[in-house]
Structure 1
Amino acid sequence: MDSRPPPASHSTPPALPELRLVLLGRKGAGKSAAGNTILGVAGGFESGKPTEECVKRRADVSGRKVTVVDTPGWEWYYPLNSTPNWVRRETLRSVSLCPPGPHTVLLVVRSCASVTDDYIWEIQQHLEPQGKEVWEHTMVLFTRGDELGLGSMEQRILTSGPALHRLLKKCGNRYHVVNNRSKGDEMQVKELIRKLEEMVHGKKDGSSHLEMDSTVLLGLEADGKRRARERRKKQRQMEAQMQRGTIKAALMSDGPQGSELDAHQSFSKAPRRLPEVRLVLLGERETGKSSAGNTILGKVDFFHAGAVTEECIRQQAEVAMRLVTVVDTPGWEAGVAGATPERVKREIVCSVALCPPGPHALLLTLRVDTLVSAGHVREHLELLGEGVWRHTILLFTHGDQLREGVDIEQHIQSGGRDLQWLLEKCRSRYHVISSVDGGGRGGPATLTELLEKVEKMATMNRCEAFSRLVLEVRDLSRQRNEKFNQRLKEIGDKMLRQEAELKNMREREMKSIRWFFDRKKKVKSPGKADIQKEEEEDEDRRAGERRNDMGELEERMRWLTEDREREIQDLSIENERIRVALNQSRRERDEMMLNLELKEREIEELKERTDEQQLKLLDLERASVEIEHERKQRDEAIRVKKQEWKKEFEKLEGTTELLKKEKAECIEKLDSLKEEMKQTIIHYDDSLERKAQEKKQAMAEVEEKLRGIMETKLLEKDEELEELRRKPQRKSREL
């Protein structure tokens, strides 16, 4: 199904000899099926189950070599846990699987999926670590086009919300629709390839493929090798501990194993206090395993609650005067979330080996506010073997979520058949805890009660820890004993049949003899002496023959009895010889296993050394790449600086010439100014002298004027004084 008809006016771009594609998207979006649709019959991607690691396939499509890389989908079903880190690592690694880089990243989205802001945020979180230019190389690939019905994708885009429009705008409005059910439709694949080639040829910057920083790829490779080395080291330590523990003792056991009922009856059922308690948490995702582990150990920082548990984690703490070991495991997928990845199943199988010689109890975590699927639980729990139920306790988490007025017993009674079946398989063993705020709030009484339940169950199991390998060894030993007992039974039945046959022959002979004597008594008469004599002789002859026959029969019986005794003796000798040979073979096997363990340890040490050297080489390569990158940046910066300095130098030279000219002009001006200053000084001095003389003359004139004024004023004052003197005299005269 095409997304839109191609414009007729555009010319067809030249075909690319090779096309490299990477498929990214959510789980269940149809990436593997889309890869098979693109590559056709040669695709070979396994659809219908989760993709656990990047897978690359290559095929010739429409005369081009097309490479498609399928990737694990990121999580969306579980709201509390984010996508596991291994999915993010595989997403980053996908670019390196099609060197020098993919031409296009196909963002796979179901055609009828609701594209929201949260969906776009998920896409950005998983897409943008590929590089800043990843959106320039991204095209949206809508799958399951048949779900659109009679409508088209253009109509759905027009009627959808702004989130889908924003997503398409980020991808340059590049999209295509495929119907994975119509794998024989070649037109949809040809149209997709045409759009991809237009997209590649339309790059303005000339970068036809997506490139990723080499330091990121080197870091991913180094991290992968480091994790593999740690995993091998942990596996080797577990195997060594198991060899020194109960497995070796079980392999050296010679006597046949009794039944479980007899073992339970012959062992004391009084609860025993265990100095060490080993527990393994199992369950579906988001059932509160990590929080329950924190609650049991009494701290909130042992296990990271709220995040995806990718591999088994072991923690220890002292609880109620016991050393408690708890192993947290990855959760299996719910039925609606798809099949459980194989790596999670492997982690579940290996979890019991993290607490050697084995866990005392397997705690099956169930949320009190979630329905239980017994078939799903049984499928994953019996990966450890059929004997797992003897060591299992139901652990109900989120006990604070129980409805008001409802206790755990009422919840179990109303839980349905599946919960009742699980409770019956676990022999009514259960416990409930609260997992509020990531654990760590379990009261001492609640934890002590749980540990006592574990100790009681361990006592019923003769204090034997659960070990999958020990169970396998016991099964092999039981099968061997059953075969031996079956052979002894066959021989005994054969001897009984031979005895019954001899007994029947003896009875037939005795009946024949009795019949003969009875007949002789009937035919005996006094007048027939000769006949009687002849008959007696015949009878004696027959009796002799019968005695001979009886002797032969007795001899035959003796031979059969001796043969039976010889067969029994031969079987006993053969049994003893087989037992000795088995013991010898077991000792040889133990020696070989020890030697093999030593060799494997040496090989692992060599591998570790090799990995360390490779890591050092990778670090050196990464450092050299970084140094080379820094050197190039430094050289580029120096080159740019040189050009800038050269330009500045040229500018400075021009400026210097101008300054020289200005300096010469300034010197000339300075000389002229000096001359002018001299003349000015002379003129100024002359002016000063003239002004001084003029001032002196002016001062003299002023002094003369002032003297005259003063004299005039003094005369006036004298006259006034004289007038004032005269006034009193005139007044006195008048009086």
Structure 2
Amino acid sequence: MQHPLLGDFIRKCRSRLLWNKNLEHQQLLTHLDEVVKGNNGDHVSCDVFKDAPSVSSRGHQGEGVGVKLDPAEAPVSELRIVLVGKSDDRKTKLCDIILKNLSSRLQKQREVISGEWRGRPLTVVKAPDMFSLSVEAVREEVKKCETLCSPGPNVLLLLVKPSDFTEENRRTLKFILSLFGPDAFKHSMVVMTEKKRGTQHTVNKLLQDCGGRLYNMFEDKHQLLMQKIENIMRENKETFLTFSEEPEHMKPALNLVLCGRRGAGKTSAAEAILGQTELHSVSSSSECVKHQGEVRGRQVSLVELPALYGKP
């Protein structure tokens, strides 16, 4: 935008812009409907008389949303980011990239960093390593993350080291994100912490879930990172995520047990059910082996028993 004042005005309108030339009626109505939905159906009222009560179109007092006439005083929405990953050192390094050239009004705490980015309040929360915690402990940590960046994060940055990102890690990460609600992946971006990406199938699946959004941390490009973060904000209309105690969008887990004689094909059956290959066989073992995977959006745990009796 060549005109700085006009560009600033458009940014205050959350970058909502339509060109009158060749504008179709249906397109205009669609954008207006998006504005209404983005404000949860609320309306604005002119505070000409400061002492006068706000009256809605239904005739009830106190339901209107007051708005000041000076656009320069319009509030700027806050940017709230949560970093999710195993390594605290890498999360700290990513924080340093985010905070590069940040406003001098910077406040650092152990888990939360607050500052300002292009006139927009910024909060970054470093979530602890939740990959080895119990389910209940994970719930408590996610709830804490929401509290630290209340009313909830706009963006989730998922730090991944491709060389040791296992299928179990991916399932755990998916559970963590499920506690942020059904739209968590729409607000997420994968952050590669090492240069070697390889051909890890688990990483590719995570990238697909995140809509292909990716940032390579080793490139250390601050402007590129912030641009990608702002794109996520814009794509989600600056909405935020909230903690969900019992994710309704998650299908209940399925627990299976396979038993049979030695050589009866239990491992082959497990591979067929989970869609995986080269599972560890227990044909010559006296212990149970547990396999896990995701089948059509449902978490499946499968216990393969050793041979309990006889020959094949």
Q: Which has the higher strand share?
A: 2
TM-score (norm 2): 0.47
Instruction: Work out which of the two has the higher radius of gyration on C-alpha atoms and give 1 or 2.
Output: 1
Compare relative contact order (CA 8 Å, sep 6+) and give the higher one, 1 or 2. Answer: 2
TM-score (norm 1): 0.21
